[in-house]
Amino acid sequence: MTLSYRQPGVVLTDRRFTVPLDHDRPEGETIELYAREVVATDKAHQDLPWLLYLQGGPGFGADRSVGRPGWLGRALKEYRVLLLDQRGTGHSTPANRQTLPLRGGPAEQADYLTHFRADAIVRDCEAIRAEVTGGAPWTVLGQSFGGFCLTTYLSLAPEGLATAVITGGLPSLDAHADDVYRAAFPRVERKVTAHYARYPQDAERARRIADHLLNHDVVLPGGYRLTVEAFQSLGIVLGTGDGTHRLHYLLEDAFVRTPQGATLSDAFLEQAQGMLSYARHPLYALIHESIYGQDGRPTAWSAERVRAEFPQFDAAKALAGDEPLLFTGESIHPWTFDCDPALRPLRETADLLATRTDWTPLYDPARLAANEVPVVAAVYHDDMYVDTAHSLRTARTIRGLRTWITDEFEHDGIRTGGPRVLDRLLALVRDEA
């Protein structure tokens, strides 16, 4: 039974679908997908084309917005929108420390999680499209990892697409995880340098916090062990439009005076807990490096290995000299599972995923070179999360793709840019701009 309800300016309908866990074995185990249909109140009874939104991640459910903010308001002018919780996320059948033991031990859990990459997500989309659209192709908007999925969609099932719109998510077609992180650490360093240029007082604050963590065992309110490496990982926010300001406000509240001397404040610890915990999206940590697995090589904790090639990120070395403490970006490490109580029971599962060598290709360069789907991509100049050079190389291989390269926005331009980003991309893909 579907349930419809209202928010300001929109009618929402809960949609549920049953799909195979393994699409190559349709007679086998099934999982449930959840999606939220959104339509403008004044268009609720109109026959509108569909726009499917694929959220960034991996491992995040679709946005839980209220009303029709930003890009969604622009989309609702002409589309009926489907916000999909990709498999394992949101209100779809969950994959986390509480549910994965139902699969068995770590080996069985790792086998299960091999079915949560972009190829399975695309086949989910095709499985539900007939029910949603009556078989008509739909427009798909893919943000970040959603753009990776959309590139896989163009490779595996372009017949399902009327139009493809990618924002901050054109992946390399052949880069190993090592290549991705070797390109990433220099970008992260540039973002940190820019942050300290904007907020020079934060350089000393960050050093003081790091020094405290190197000399004290700190546990956050939810049980997260705040090591210096975990503190550095807060730099992940620097790739977003307001991230530099959020980090600044976090650092300025770091210490408080007590009868025992200065210590990290409850306000700082509580904020850090919310920013660091993977309790709401553990799948992100579990399968993050596997989204780059394609060529038979294991990912083998790539970010951890590659970080060692950039000694300027070593906090102890920075504090021993006069170098600024460098924050890090979008990367998952073995210690992530040791620090976070939402991930600790899954450490062995993550280790097994890191050793796998049976990952299959996610993209088809030959099919992309023959592409006939109208496709457009926003590429953000010096995007911290997705390498610009990788994106532009891929853009040149997809027949007919038009790019909009801009430094007006960071990686989350589709969120911070209001309706302007989607409006610009739709104009481009329709040859109206």
152-170 per-position pLDDT tens digit: 999 999 999 999 999 999 9
Q: How far apart are CA 115 and CA 120, in angstroms?
A: 6
Q: Of 63, 202, 411, 412, which one is the catalytic site residue?
A: 411
Q: What is the pLDDT of residue 272?
A: 97
Active site residue 281: no
Phi then psi for residue 31, to 5 deg, are: -130, 170
CA dihedral 272, 275, 280, 281 (to 10 degrees): -130
pLDDT mean over 304-329: 97
pLDDT for position 377? 98
Confidence of residue 253 (pLDDT cuts 50, 70, 90): confident
Q: Decide: 375 and 154 in contact? Cβ < 8 Å.
A: yes
pLDDT in tens, 103-129: 999 999 999 999 999 999 999 999 999
For 37-76, b where at least 16 C-beta lie within 10 A, e where not — what string?
Answer: bbbbeebeeeebebbbbbbbbbbbbbbebeebebbbbbbb
d(CA 255, CA 217): 15
Strands (DSSP E) found in 325-392? 375-380
Confidence of residue 300 (pLDDT cuts 50, 70, 90): very high
| Cβ partners under 8 Å of residue 45, min gap 6 | none
Is the N-terminal amide bond of 58 cis, ω within 30° of 0?
yes
358 catalytic? Reply is yes
- Does residue 324 have a pLDDT over 70? yes
Return the amino acid letter for 129. Answer: R
Q: What is the pLDDT of residues 383-395, one digit of tens each?
A: 999 999 999 999 9
What is the mean pLDDT of the segment spanning 335-349? Answer: 98
Q: Which entry of 92, 144, 233, 290 is annotated as an active-site residue?
A: 144
| Mean pLDDT of all residues in 244-265 | 96
- The 10s digit of each residue's pLDDT in 212-233 is 999 999 999 999 999 999 999 9
Please list, in sequence order, all residues whose beta carbon lies within 8 angstroms of the beta carbon of residue 13, skipping any fewer than 6 positions away.
Answer: 2, 3, 4, 5, 36, 37
Closest CA to 208 of 264, 273, 286: 264
pLDDT level of residue 1 (50, 70, 90 thresholds): low
Residue 418 banded pLDDT, cuts 50, 70, 90: confident
Domains in the chain, ordered, with CATH? 3-174+363-429 (3.40.50.1820), 177-355 (no CATH)
Q: Cα separation of 404 and 399, whole Å?
A: 15
Q: Is 248 a catalytic residue?
A: no
Tokens 């726009």 sit at which residue? 51
3-state secondary structure of 14: strand
Q: What is the DSSP string of 67-135?
A: SS-HHHHHHTTT-EEEEEE-TBSTTSSB-STTTGGGG-SHHHHHHHHTT-SHHHHHHHHHHHHHHHHTT
Burial of 154 (0-12, 13-18, 19+ CB in 10 A): buried
Residue 3: predicted pLDDT? 86
Distance, CA of 150 to CA of 166 (rounded, Å): 7
24, 217, 322, 358: the catalytic one is 358
For CA atoms 221, 223, 226, 230, the dihedral sign is negative
d(CA 212, CA 216): 6
Closest listed residue to residue 400, CA positions, set 172, 161, 176: 161
Average pLDDT, the chain: 97
- For 297, half-sphere exposure in the C-beta direction (CA atoms, 13 angstrom radius) is 13
In the chain, % of residues over pLDDT 90: 97
Query: Can you name the residues that pair with 350 across neighbouring β-strands?
Result: none
Structure tokens that stand for 286 in this block: 């579990």
Residues in the chain: 433
Poorest-confidence range of 62-66, 266-270, 304-308, 425-429?
62-66
Three-state SS for 243-310 is HHHHHHHHHHCCEEEECCEEEECHHHHHHHHHHHCCCCCHHHHHHCHHHHCCCCCCCCCHHHHHHCCC
Which segments of 98-238 does DSSP mark as H helices, in order?
106-113, 118-133, 145-156, 177-198, 201-215, 228-232
Three-class DSSP category at 187: helix
CA distance 98 to 349: 13
pLDDT greater than 90 at residue 2: no
Q: How many CA atoms lie within 13 A of 157 on its CB side?
A: 19
